Amino acid sequence: MQHTPNVIIIAGATATGKTAIAVQLASELATEIISADSRQCFQELSIGVARPTEEELAIIPHHFIASQSITEPSNAGLFEQMALQKVTELFANHSTVIMCGGTGLYIKAFMEGIDPMPEVPDSVRHAIEQEYQSKGLIWLQRELQHRDPAFWQQAEQQNPRRLQRALEVLQATGKSIMAFRNATPARRSFAITPLVITVPPEVLRQRINERVDAMMKEGLLEEVKSVFDFRHLPALQTVGYRELINHLEGKSSLDETVQQIKINTWQYARRQITWFKKQPGFFHLPANEISIEKIQSLSC
C-alpha cells in the first residue's frame, strides 16, 4: 500500500524550541528540513535570526538557510513557489519532509497558496518607508484605519511590515489589498500535518530574555555593524537589528537597547501566538508531547 507523502510543519513563536524538535524528528525519520523563516534565508544575518547551529546543519540537510542576500527579494509568494518545488524534489527520496519556522504567512502560503500581489513602484515603497521611519507605527495604523477600514478590522495591527505592505498596495493601485485576495485555498497533492509548539508564557518570556543576552555575547552588535549600510532594506526592519541600528545612530544607550529588544521580541512572540491560534487546522501541542507516534495519530 502506497502512503501519501506528508509534510510535517513545526511552527510556533520565536524561542519555543522549534529547531531542536525539527532536527530530532528529521533525524528519526531520516529526512530533510525546509526552513519557513523569512529572515534565516539571508546570508548576512545569523546571530540575530537564531539560525540553526553548525552542528544542527551538519546533522540534517536544511533548505533555504543562508540561501540568498538581503539585497534580493523575499516574500511569501516566492517562498510558496520555491518550497513547492523543493518538497517535490525531496519526495523522490523521502515519504515525509519537515518544514520548520515561525513566519506564519510563509507557512500559510505553502499550505493554501497565495494570490499574486500587484507590482508596487520603488518610489511608492520608499516614500512609505520614510514616512514610517519618521512618524512611527501610530502613523501607519491611522492611515490604514482611515483609508482602508475593512482591511484594518482584520489586520495584524501591531505588525509594521504587514501594514506597510497594505498601504503600498493601496497607494499604488487605489484598491485595498483585500481586493487581491482569493478565499479559495489551493489544493496540494500531498498531506500536511501542521503543528504549533506551545510554551507557558512565563517560560517563553524567560527564554527570550536569556536568548537576547546570549545573542549579545555572541556578537550581535558586530553583526549589525556589518550590515549597517543596508539598514534601509526590509530585511533589517527586524527585531534585534532595528533597535541596534537605532543605537548605532545615537538614539539609545546599549543597555536601553538590549532591554528594548527583549520587550519587542516578547511582543512579537505574542503576535505570533495570536496569529497561529486564529488559523484553522493546526494542532497546538507542548514541546514534550511531540513524537513520531503522536504525529502519526494526528495524521490519521
- Domain containing 239 — which CATH number? 3.40.50.300
Residues 174, 45, single domain; the answer is: no
Please determine, for residue 233, whether its predicted confidence score (pLDDT) is greater than 90: no
Closest CA to 196 of 96, 289, 60: 289
And the C-alpha cell for 233?
Answer: 532594506
Mean pLDDT of all residues in 120-145 = 90
pLDDT of amino acid 297: 87
pLDDT-wise least confident of 72-76, 169-173, 247-251: 72-76
Calculate what percentage of the chain has a pLDDT beyond 90: 76
Please determine, for residue 116, whether its predicted confidence score (pLDDT) is greater than 80: no
pTM score: 0.86
From residue 168, give the alpha-carbon distance in Å to each of 76, 113, 162, 163, 248. 16, 21, 10, 9, 28
Residues 106, 226, single domain; the answer is: yes
pLDDT band for position 1 (50/70/90)?
Answer: very low
Calculate what percentage of the chain has a pLDDT beyond 70: 98
The answer to whether residues 164 and 140 touch, using CB atoms and an 8 Å cutoff, is yes
Domain count, the chain: 2
Residues 201, 279, single domain; the answer is: yes
Q: Write out the residue range of the structural domain in which residue 14 sits.
A: 6-114+184-299
pLDDT of amino acid 62: 98
Residues 25, 159, single domain; the answer is: no
Please determine, for residue 241, whether its predicted confidence score (pLDDT) is greater than 90: yes
Residues 267, 200, single domain; the answer is: yes
The answer to whether residues 268 and 161 touch, using CB atoms and an 8 Å cutoff, is no
pLDDT-wise least confident of 45-54, 122-131, 155-164, 203-212: 155-164
Please determine, for residue 121, whether its predicted confidence score (pLDDT) is greater than 80: yes
pLDDT of amino acid 182: 67
Residues 75, 205, single domain; the answer is: yes
Residues 55, 190, single domain; the answer is: yes
- CATH code, domain with 158: 1.10.20.140
Q: How far apart are CA 39 and CA 56, in angstroms?
A: 18
Please determine, for residue 2, whether its predicted confidence score (pLDDT) is greater than 80: no
Q: Compute the mean pLDDT over every residue in the chain, rounded to the nearest whole number.
A: 93
pLDDT band for position 191 (50/70/90)?
Answer: very high
The answer to whether residues 76 and 106 touch, using CB atoms and an 8 Å cutoff, is yes
Where do we find the cell 534580493?
72
Please determine, for residue 259, whether its predicted confidence score (pLDDT) is greater than 50: yes
Residues 72, 190, single domain; the answer is: yes
Residues 200, 282, single domain; the answer is: yes
pLDDT band for position 183 (50/70/90)?
Answer: low
Q: How far apart are CA 201 and CA 209, in angstroms?
A: 12
Residue 1 counted as domain residue: no
